């Protein structure tokens, strides 16, 4: 069944958890779709896990469109959400609507995600007014890494917790269909989830959100750089890949691969004439 923004809302209302993962390419999106994931995010985390940058700030609209196209071709049932990269929406309402439009028209996403609270509510409203569903993202917003002074848990003090709760209400009012809560205390995420009507999608926000999202390289243990506390490794795909690659190298060196089952034949009479 095709997942839409309506099915996300329905799942919150029916207390049925929403599952999301990131993906950046056709083959991975296809596997996730087959597994039955509700939504796929083409995250700007692609800057880190696919392109090897230290943060998400260098990711461009062209990068996002390129990867969104690939995912959209691979996933038929999952809701496709594309991240708006740094400086594609902060600069003006015009830029926000224009760039959200590109992710839909060229990338074939079905919704966009952007980071921030009150300061981006005019952008959220304008994009929604253009009939493009918006997923909001509050708490730890990685595009603000320089303002935060690093990647840290947000909302531990009364003042910051109150601000994040307010932001959740503001993005809902601006028209967001869902909101990502990243790296906030579980009790705060629980309170936000009870206080708003749209679904909350948690990452490092505890079990009481309406849904969960993880970066797939993190949850499949194929990104060696670091492991955040909130990540659970559900499989060790990196080690499995290394094993397969080592076997390929060894069999090639030992002349075991390719064997007879992998080769094409030519008639003996034909090849004889060439000698
Ligand atoms: O870019 C990303 O992968 C994200 C998720 C972690 C929510 O924004
Ligand atoms: Na992101």
Question: Tell me, what's the ipTM?
Answer: 0.99
Do 217 and 126 lie in one domain? The reply is: yes
pTM of the model: 0.96
Same domain, 86 and 105: yes
Same domain, 170 and 267: no
Report which protein residue has its CA nearest ligand 1's atom 1: 43
Check whether residue 215 and residue 248 sit in a common domain.
Answer: no
User: Is 83 near ligand 1, meaning CB less than 6 Å away?
Assistant: yes
Residues 267 and 158 in one domain: no
- Ligand 1: which of 39, 41, 85, 216 to mutate, most ligand atoms within 8 Å of CB? 41
Do residues 63 and 21 touch, judged by C-beta distance below 8 A?
Answer: no
Which domain does 250 fall in, by range? 241-274
C-alpha distances in angstroms, 167 versus 5, 113, 130, 164, 176? 21, 15, 22, 5, 11
CATH of the domain at 71: 3.20.20.60
Q: For residue 214, give the ligand 1 atom closest to its CA.
A: 6
* In a shared domain, residues 21 and 98: yes
For residues 141 and 260, membership in a common domain is answered with no
Does 165 share its domain with 259? no
Question: Is the CB of residue 213 below 6 angstroms from any atom belonging to ligand 1?
Answer: yes
147 and 260 belong to one structural domain: no
* Residues 88 and 222 occupy one common structural domain: yes
pLDDT at position 196 over 80: yes
Contact 24, 51 (CB under 8 A): no
The verdict on 117 and 251 lying in the same domain is: no
14 is catalytic: no
Q: What is the mean pLDDT of residues 14-31?
A: 98
Share of the chain above pLDDT 70, in %: 100
Distance (Å, whole) CA 78 – CA 34: 9
CB-ligand 1 contact for 180 (6 Å cutoff): yes
Return all residues near 37 (Cβ < 8 A) that are at least 6 apart: 19, 20, 21, 78
Closest residue to atom 4 of ligand 1, CA basis: 43
Percent of the chain with pLDDT over 90: 97
Mean pLDDT over each residue of the chain, to the nearest integer: 97
Same domain? 124 vs 172: yes
Total domains in the chain come to 2
Judged on CB neighbours under 10 Å (0-12, 13-18, 19+), 144 is middle
CA 109, 114, 120: angle at the middle one, nearest 5?
135
The closest-lying atom of ligand 1 relative to the alpha carbon of residue 201 is: 7
Of 54, 159, 182, 269, catalytic: 182
């Amino acid at each position: 069944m095709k997942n839409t923004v309506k099915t996300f809302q329905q799942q919150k209302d029916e207390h049925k958890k929403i599952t999301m993962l990131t993906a950046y390419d056709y083959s991975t999106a296809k596997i996730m779709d087959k597994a039955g994931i509700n939504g796929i995010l083409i995250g700007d985390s692609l800057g880190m896990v696919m392109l090897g940058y230290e943060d998400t700030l260098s990711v461009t609209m062209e990068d996002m469109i390129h990867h969104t196209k690939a995912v959209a071709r691979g996933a038929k049932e999952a809701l496709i959400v594309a991240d708006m990269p740094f400086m594609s929406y902060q600069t003006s309402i015009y830029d926000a609507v224009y760039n959200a439009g590109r992710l839909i028209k060229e990338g074939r996403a079905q919704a966009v995600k952007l980071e921030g609270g009150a300061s981006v509510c005019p952008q959220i409203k304008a994009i929604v007014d253009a009939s493009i569903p918006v997923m909001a993202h509050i708490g730890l917003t990685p595009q603000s890494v320089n303002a935060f002074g690093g990647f840290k848990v947000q909302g531990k003090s009364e003042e910051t917790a109150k601000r994040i709760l307010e932001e959740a209400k503001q993005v809902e009012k601006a028209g967001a269909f869902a909101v990502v809560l990243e790296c906030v205390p579980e009790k705060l995420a629980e309170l936000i989830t009870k206080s708003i009507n749209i679904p909350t999608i948690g990452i490092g926000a505890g079990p009481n959100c309406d849904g969960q999202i993880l970066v797939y390289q993190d949850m499949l243990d194929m990104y060696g750089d670091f492991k955040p506390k909130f990540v659970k490794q559900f499989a060790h795909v990196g080690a499995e890949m290394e094993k397969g690659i080592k076997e390929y190298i060894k069999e090639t060196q030992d002349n075991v691969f390719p064997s007879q089952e992998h080769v094409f034949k030519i008639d003996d009479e034909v090849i004889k004439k060439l000698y």
